[in-house]
Chain A
Amino acid sequence: MSETFRFSDPGEGLEEAEVLEIHVGEGDHVNDGDTVLTVETDKAATDIPAPFTGTVETVHPGTGDRVRVDDALITYQPDGEKEEEATADESQDEQATQDQEEDTSSRESEDETQEADSEASKKDDAESAQDESAQEDTGSRQEGETRSNGKHTDRRQPVPAAPSTRRIAREMGVDLHDVEPSGPQGRVTADDVEAAAQGEQGAAARETLSAEQPSRQESSGLPDFSRWGETEREAMRSIRRATAQRMSRSWQEIPHVYHQDVADITALERFRRDYEPSAESNGGKFTMTVLMLKAMVYALKQFPRFNASLDAENEELVLKRYFHIGVAVATDQGLLVPVIRDVDRKNMIELTAELKAIIDKAKAGELAREDMEGGCMTLTNPGPMGGTSLSPLINPPEVAILGMGQARLEPVVHGDLDDYEIKPRLMLPLSLGFDHRANDGADAASFVTTLIGALEDPHSLLLKI
């Protein structure tokens, strides 16, 4: 008997993934542990190993499809299961299935194996509808109209819902069978699907939702933009979608406050230039980002509540005794934040090489899920592209993010009102975004001042790191 390998959660709490690559085809023999698919889960490419040894019969998803937990991935014939071992009845069924004959018993047996999967059984239905027609041509000599509506052989009855609601469910990846209906006579409404997608339970929640928030149907009822000129529609692919979800969560949940200041990095830049060749001895580029990583660790050590996560439910701050810093990288696929581990324990030569390696990996789309997990605080440096002030959003569950603006040579006044001199200095704008639930404005000011102190005096920075 054929068995079905279904998609299961490859990481914590993931519900769906996008199929990037399919490594096997129909008829291929697969050993336990062989990579059969590569999927993109929450921004990372993950290889899915086969949990079986056997021969692939059908690969259900196509490249670019989104698969959800419990969706059928591969139907296969396991090794070591010979036809004779199956009961006569079963083998007959199987034969009938393979021959694609119209046979009620075979159809039922197929339904049993594919019961929980609507996509697969839809295909099954389509096939059996075709079987009917194939037979008809040779058999009853009937015209096309007799390929009658044998589309509903799924044991699970179709869930009553309007075609528009079904479309929304499909787009949101919601199985209608899992949705609690609120409509009359058990009908699933568009709001029910929306609520199910947001994991909301109970009619009260749904009512609030429909009252306060425009439903998906309404929001997709955008004006017809083409009335005002040419437009194009671009699907939100996996990374864009994940960024959108994560950033709206950040925006909605975290009370962001920004503290901005400017650091004089003239001396630091001289230091950077002087030691560029030796710092790059293991490869990479000795950039201001590398120095900033070190300075951040110094400041984080002074202010542990910035190296924290908020457990709102238990009203606790989780303080971290490690120093992993996320670095925002703009790639063709979208924004990725790989994490550099244990920045406190690595020297600048090591960090220079590692930063380059992880940026290359991100740009090649090869980051694994674990490469992007466990950050304490994020550093984003759009400065080279310009900008004097920025308001980056915190990457949850972190509580702070540091943004670097563009360093510029500026006239700086030293001295007092009566006795001063003006010097050209290289000034770097800094913006610290912090979660006001975890820290206050005074904490942020101290954090940034400490950071600037370390940056302005490279010699003391040496002592401090």
Chain B
Amino acid sequence: MARKHTSSKLPDSTQLAVIGGGPGGYAAAFEAVKLGLDVTLINDETPVGGVCLLRGCIPSKTLLEVSELIHASESAETMGLRFARPEIDADALRQWKQKVVKTLTDGLEGLCRQRGVRLVRASARLADEQNLTVEGNDVSGTLRFEQAIIASGSRPVALPDVDIAASRRIMDSTDALELEEIPDSLLVIGGGYVGLEMGMVYQSLGSQVTVVEMAERLMPNADADLVEPLARTLASRFKAVHLETQVSGLHETQRQVRVTLEDADGSRDHRFSRVLVAVGRRPNSDGLDLDKAGVHCDDAGFIEVDAQCRTNVSHIHAIGDVTGGMLLAHEAMHQGKVAARAAAGEAAAFDARAVPAVVYTVPQIAWCGLTETQARDEGREIQVLKFPWQAAGRALTLQADDGLTKLIVEPGSGRLLGAGIVGPQAESLIGEAVLAIEMGAVAEDLALTVHPHPTLTETLGEAGELFLGGSTHYG
């Protein structure tokens, strides 16, 4: 355990090769060194951290915090507090974001050194079942491994016939986070969380934002009642939200992008200064030469794994986005630890019952476990307990009376199966529900737990009380 690697020299062989330095990869590497394995973490870009730190969670949340502040200062007027319109210094904002990212990536590299993870900056491909071909500026060669963990992540899906890399005005989420400019008008293609979060950032900074979504509502896989308050906010803040609409043409000119939108009524052309394509992500499984080791993926390119995160080649594991699932950093981190423990011969399995998802819009949306939509699709009998925040004192002080806390429970026992929250602080509130589900709690457990007053956590307790026949402040 006391092994220390400071150089990134490529050894001949390693006990565990981890491909990809995102949250899944580094969590796996840290866990594995803790268990006494010799670990080589191969990351193809200079800072470690992967999409999450460099092009995803962290930079987007840094910008969204600004967005939230702007929204808060606007709504403060109702409380008798008037601010002048904020001046936005885009350069300073970019620098602030970079500073946050750098602090974290530097910290991670420090942890790699301190814990004895050998960090190699290079790309890696499978040469066969036991060897990797490693290619980088400073190191190249073949690395023999006893076991491997593939944590190569995912990247944004492009639209057919659109070369985002060559385009200046058509962006993917990575480009949008660069905040090159604040365009007068922005079209967001895709009404999922990335599109809505980034749309909200640009809107708060001054862009006129339009969203186009193929489905009949925004975020179709989140429960409709959770999305509703967000949809109302967006309707007032965005220029337009086009549902059941497709993009049938994108034409970039020197100064703008001409977009053809097509819905049931026909097609119309619109012009936007910039376009953000946020229609999903695809796995980074194509550059790994998986076939040389005989590792299977499904038709969409996601690597198939079992509960131990083993691929069909049992000494090669895969975790995180490249295996599908929810494509969330926290899921990848947990899978990474499972894979590391399995590689060390421990009986580990990824058996989480509630992986939380959080959307950092204003209001925030968070859910975990079973959703109402999913239960309905599966024909599963459930009872839904909804506690609207109009009945929560703290929510009113926060101007958050359109928030909602709901629990999805098993009829009869009241066993918690899922939870959903919309409103400020949903990101933190969901934690209690996740723990309750993992612990096998019933609604009564939440009801009998003393929650501090006045806080938004009370909404979880009161939702639990609804199962017992009515809460103190509602129903």
Q: Which residues of A contact B (CB under 8 A)?
A: 26, 62-64, 66, 99-100, 104, 119, 122-123, 126-127, 129-131, 133-134, 136-137, 140-153, 157-163, 166-167, 170-171, 173, 183, 185-188, 226, 230-233, 235
Residue of B nearest to A133 (CB): B324
Task: Tell me whether A170 and B328 are in contact (CB under 8 A).
Answer: no
Q: Are A143 and B193 in contact (CB under 8 A)?
A: yes
Knowing A100-B298, A141-B280, say if A133 contacts B327 (CB, 8 Å).
yes
Q: Are A126 and B36 in contact (CB under 8 A)?
A: no
Min distance, Cβ B90 to any Cβ of chain A, angstroms: 25
Binds A, one of B40-48, B67-75, B253-261, B351-359: B351-359
Interface string of B177-195 (1 = CB under 8 A from A): 0000000000001111111
CA distance A301 to B308 in the complex (A): 55
Contact of A26 among B219, B298, B312 (CB under 8 A): B312
State the Cβ distance, B369 to closest chain A Cβ, in Å: 6
Q: Is the Cβ of A145 less than 8 Å from the Cβ of B357?
A: yes
Q: How far is the CA of A149 from the CA of B223 in the complex (A)?
A: 12
15 contacts between A and B (CB under 8 A): A62-B308, A63-B314, A123-B307, A130-B323, A134-B299, A137-B281, A141-B215, A146-B221, A149-B374, A153-B378, A157-B410, A161-B440, A163-B352, A166-B351, A171-B347
Known contacts: A137-B300, A143-B278. The answer to whether A162 contacts B314 by CB under 8 A is no
Contacting pair B371 A148 (CB below 8 A): yes
Q: Which of A119, A140, A185 contacts B442 (CB 8 A)?
A: A185
Name A160's contact: one of B189, B327, B415 (CB within 8 Å). B415
Q: A415 vs B324: C-alpha distance in the bound complex, in angstroms?
A: 87
**CB contact under 8 A between A119 and B194, given known A64-B345, A145-B357, A160-B415:** no
Contact B321 A144 (CB under 8 A): yes
Question: Which residues of chain A are near B370, meaning CB under 8 Å?
Answer: 149, 152
* Neighbouring B residues of A104 by C-beta, 8 Å: 377-378
Asked if B84 lies at the interface with its beta carbon under 8 angstroms from chain A, I say no
* Contact yes or no, A129 B298, CB < 8 A: no
Contacts A143-B278, A226-B1, A233-B35 given; indicate if A149 touches B300 (C-beta within 8 A). no
B326 touching A141, Cβ below 8 Å:
no
Would you call B324 and A123 a contact (CB within 8 A)? no
Q: When the two chains form their complex, are residues B378 and A134 in contact, meaning their CB atoms are under 8 A apart?
A: no
B292-312: CB near A (< 8 Å → 1, else 0) gives 000000111010111110101
Contact A144 B302 (CB under 8 A): no
CA distance A162 to B157 in the complex (A): 38
A317 to B443, CA, bound (A): 58
Asked if B325 and A130 make an inter-chain contact with CB atoms under 8 angstroms apart, the answer reads yes
What residues of chain A lie closer than 8 Å to B324, measured between beta carbons? 126, 129-130, 133-134, 147
Q: Which residue of B lies closest to A162 (CB)?
A: B439
B324, B345, B442 pick with most chain A CB within 10 angstroms:
B324
Q: Which residue of B lies closest to A160 (CB)?
A: B440
A153 to B379, CA, bound (A): 11
